[in-house]
Amino acid sequence: MLSRTVLSGENIILGSFIDEDIKKIIEWHADEKIMRNLDALPVKPKKETEIKKWLDECPQDTFRFSLRLKEGNELIGYAELNGILWPHRTGWVTIAIADETKWGKGYGKEAMQCLIRYAFRELNLYRLQLTVFSYNTRAMTLYESLGFLREGCYREFLERDGKRHDMYLYGLLRKEWKE
């Protein structure tokens, strides 16, 4: 079964999830290297019912997309706009390239460009924001290349391997966005 495409770039598509994706998502949630970039909580395996619920029960303030390669329709991650405050036209951005073999190939940048364009043009949002852990320098480089500005710092927010790490807040305003 093919997922329905909603947004697309040169090499990636953002679309709906399909039942066959659940097994792969469960694997991602059990992978410490992946989850350390996405969640401040310790890695905890997820059950199929938890993943199904996450996919099926998408709140009205959330737009969640599978992230696939155009060639072969391979699931490599997900992207979402969430926590949208409609009266203020503000939303949070989350992206995960969960297939480590796909890191550093530009798929995250392409997905973010699609998501930003969708947020500003289709949803009429004015502000996008996200958080990133200070050790995730790859992600910070990506966000800054897209125009996001570091606006704040949650100092020593989390502890990993006996060391404290900051979490940064990044923001992008519609008027600052360069298509």
Is 143 noted as a catalytic residue in this protein? yes
- Contacts of residue 39, Cβ cutoff 8 Å, sequence gap at least 6: none
Q: What is the residue whose two structure tokens read 């800054």?
A: 144
**Contact status, residue 154 vs residue 166, Cβ threshold 8 Å:** yes
Listed in order, strand segments (DSSP E) in 86-174 are 90-97, 127-133, 149-160, 163-173
| Rounded Cα distance, 81 and 119, in Å | 8
Selecting among 78, 107, 143, 170, the annotated active-site residue is: 143
Here the tokens at position 96 are 């995960």
Catalytic residues: 143
